[in-house]
Structure 1
Amino acid sequence: MIISKNLAQSIVDNIKEIIHHEINFIETDGTIIASTDENRIGKIHEGAKKVIATGQDLIIRFDDEFPGTRSGFNTAVYFQNQIIGIIGITGVPEVVIQYAKIIRKLTELMITEAHAKSSDFMRRQNEKAFIDSLIYNDYLSDSDTLSAAHYNIKLPRRCIVGVISNESDVDYDVYHTLRRYLSDSENTVISAGSSVFVVFSTITSKGTLAFHLNEISQHIKHYHQMDVSFGIGRICTSFEESKMSYKQACQSLKWAQNFSKEIIQFYSEMDIGLLLVDFSEPNSKSLQLNTLSNLTGDEIKEYIEILRVYEANNGSISRSAEDLFIHKNTLQYRLNKLHEKTGFNPRELKDFTILKLAFMSYEMHPQI
């Protein structure tokens, strides 16, 4: 592992805050790459070269005992059983030697933590790049190998697309929350952004998946005070099916946000939504113009709610009026007015269906 100058400087600065002595970090070629004494950065430390050669700690009794050295103590820093640098502390040897184990352990802990963060970042970047290729690249085939993500395309998966209510900088936590609850193997891949995430999960059971997604929703709500919605596609076992599962997940999410109001929406449970989410804009516009053009924007919003309640009550005027907090004669008048303005009678099943589709189309893609 190569230690960057920024990491090395962070290490020496943090250690000095604890033991209040000048600290140096020296590369394996003997160059001081970080120091709390900036005048020493870039100098060659011959004592460090001896530590590298022998693997033994080195006490320097007086300044320039070795070229470029000052009195103090130097010890090797290990990572995965390899010497990756030398950490040195300047001062009276009998005083500073007591810190030997502390500075070595602190340095190795900080390097291990930095390596873990770097590895985690690279993994997340690889997974994001892989998912981007999977859902946007038209040239992938089932024989392609993308080893960076360790992905076996033939394993059954579902695509999950999620949206967090507010754009934020919690993508790191969201990624690890998704991995904690959804990953039963390395074959689950995740891409998490500031408000949208995509997962190809090997958990395909609807019941198990819904259980874990509810756990994720509760976690995000508890720790970040944000809501989350999920759309889930059908099971996929090829690149082509993966693209389709992603598209289905996006459509399911759109349906959940606009109509079902459920936080979890499976594509296979969308019923009438299967028609509307793929409705082309020209057709949507034509339907709205033919049906709703004589209504104002406020009237459209009012009738969306009236028809929703009217349908929920199976066409009962009295129960619908009660739920809408209006007199049943008022409801009758408004339904008659809707018939008069649109030419479609909401009391007749065929006309009600056309009105419902038109209003739902308007909610998804207002075209008038």
Structure 2
Amino acid sequence: MVRINVDFAQQIVDSAKTIVGWNVNFIDPQGIILASTDSKRIGTYHEAGHLAARTRQTRTVYHKDEYKGSNSGINYPITMNDQVVGVIGITGEPNVVGQYGFLLTKICEVFMKEYLLEIQSYDDQQRVGKLVMALLYHDLEGIQQIMGDADILADEKYVAISYMLDCLGDGQIQRQIERNITEDLQKLELPLHVHIYPNMVVCLVPESKYKKWKQRVTAWETDFSPKLYIGVGTWEAVRHIYLSYRFSRMAMKYAKEHQFFCMFAENMNLELLLQSIDEQVQRQYVEKVCAALNAEEFQLLQNYFKNELSLQSTANEMMIHKNTLQYRLKQIYVKTGLDPRKFTDAVVLYIGVHLKK
């Protein structure tokens, strides 16, 4: 039986939400929400999903209290090899989200078929793909099946590198860039790479080949920016490469949000820590710290922090008098109880401003 792990399930729901625009859950056959774009629901029981898995029939929820742990929405059983491997659910009014049912199940089908191709094939190329997928999703059983007793990757550290293709829906350009990247990786003698639907390529680079890879980055930026963003993870033993993969995705996301072509996790420091915080906790922090601030005050703090808390530099950039800036900072203190001119309070405000962006 195909078993879906947490990381793979989260990849499915994240990609699905990007396309359909509504919160999506992946529910295991026992009714537990394995992954969700609404993080607070992960690990909770979903009765409607459980029934959909047991009956192999789509289960629609019209009212929040109709089934235990289930919000309004539609839940579709997902089968592979005539076995239910999970349920994909979309949250929202059924008469609204029902139009996405076919698309949602097709997204799952593409993911599952791609995953099975990697997992079930044993020729050389597919074996590499299966190994990379198993390493990225920390599938210890899968790794053992592929590698057997031969510890072929144990003697060298690797880094996971994630490529995001941002081609604004132009499939032809995306496929061309993906082909070029794949060909370049082959020329660099980096066979451990895999395509992850819908728009990612992930490569595992050993220390001995990293210098060659890094020399290629400038050419990629010249050829493909701004349609490509790269995130470089942390150095890990190969059996812990899933950690590097998580960090590489954080770095890749940061690169896209801040319009950097390539971002290294080791250079992110505070940003890396903040991105690893649960999204609900981030929202609560921002609400607590920044709720009283208006857009003008928020922009003022951005400029203030960008200028390293320098009153004169900030005033010059904003073309206001230094005393005016002092007055506005004092008003922020009155509103929030946090004084931007005091280091400890400035740190609290900086985190809030960063998370709100």
Amino acid at match of 1:176: R
Call closer, same or farther: CA 1:274–1:340 in 2, change over 3 Å: same
1:175 equivalent in structure 2: 178
Q: Deviations 1:132-191 (Å, cap 9, x if unpaired)?
A: 3332353336543269xxx94334321111222324323443233223434432533232
Cα deviation, residue 128, structure 1: 5.2
Q: Deviations 1:266-324 (Å, cap 9, x if unpaired)?
A: 1111111132011123432332232112234xx2xx44443333233332222212222
Call closer, same or farther: CA 1:215–1:244 in 2, change over 3 Å: same
Q: 1:181–1:215: 8 Å Cα contact kept in structure 2?
A: no
Call closer, same or farther: CA 1:193–1:142 in 2, change over 3 Å: closer
Cα deviation, residue 354, structure 1: 0.2
Q: Distance in 2 between matches of 1:279 and 1:266?
A: 19
2:159 equivalent in structure 1: 158
Question: Does residue 361 of the first structure (1) align with residue 351 of the second (2)?
Answer: no
Q: Distance in 1 between matches of 2:175 and 2:152?
A: 25
Q: Distance in 2 between matches of 1:180 and 1:230?
A: 17
Aligned with 1:161: secondary structure?
strand
Amino acid at match of 1:191: H
Aligned with 2:308: secondary structure?
coil
Q: 2:127–2:146: 8 Å Cα contact kept in structure 1?
A: no
Q: Distance in 2 between matches of 1:129 and 1:171?
A: 23
Matches within 5 A, 1:123-134: 129-134=130-135
1:265 equivalent in structure 2: 263
1:243 equivalent in structure 2: 242
Amino acid at match of 2:159: R
2:200 equivalent in structure 1: 196
Q: 1:177–1:216: 8 Å Cα contact kept in structure 2?
A: no
TM-score (norm 1): 0.54
Q: 1:232–1:265: 8 Å Cα contact kept in structure 2?
A: yes
Q: Distance in 1 between matches of 2:247 and 2:318?
A: 35
Call closer, same or farther: CA 1:162–1:152 in 2, change over 3 Å: same
Cα deviation, residue 231, structure 1: 0.9
- Report sequence identity in percent: 19
Amino acid at match of 1:244: L
Question: Does residue 340 of the first structure (1) align with residue 334 of the second (2)?
Answer: yes
Matches within 5 A, 1:67-82: none
More off after superposition, 227-236 vs 343-352 = 227-236
Q: Distance in 2 between matches of 1:201 and 1:176?
A: 18
Q: Distance in 1 between matches of 2:305 and 2:211?
A: 29
Q: Distance in 2 between matches of 1:337 and 1:156?
A: 52
Call closer, same or farther: CA 1:126–1:193 in 2, change over 3 Å: farther
Q: 1:231–1:253: 8 Å Cα contact kept in structure 2?
A: yes
Aligned with 1:346: secondary structure?
coil
Cα deviation, residue 244, structure 1: 0.8
Q: Distance in 2 between matches of 1:139 and 1:326?
A: 60
2:216 equivalent in structure 1: 212
Amino acid at match of 1:212: R
> Which of the two has higher C-alpha Rg?
1
Cα deviation, residue 229, structure 1: 1.5
Q: Deviations 1:96-120 (Å, cap 9, x if unpaired)?
A: xxxxxxxxxxxxxxxxxxxxxxxxx
Q: Distance in 1 between matches of 2:269 and 2:208?
A: 20
Q: Distance in 1 between matches of 2:152 and 2:297?
A: 50
Q: Distance in 2 between matches of 1:269 and 1:350?
A: 23
Amino acid at match of 2:223: H
1:318 equivalent in structure 2: 312
2:325 equivalent in structure 1: 331
More off after superposition, 354-363 vs 324-333 = 324-333
1:228 equivalent in structure 2: 228
CA RMSD of aligned residues (A): 3.2
Q: 1:171–1:194: 8 Å Cα contact kept in structure 2?
A: no
Q: 1:187–1:202: 8 Å Cα contact kept in structure 2?
A: no
Aligned with 2:235: secondary structure?
strand
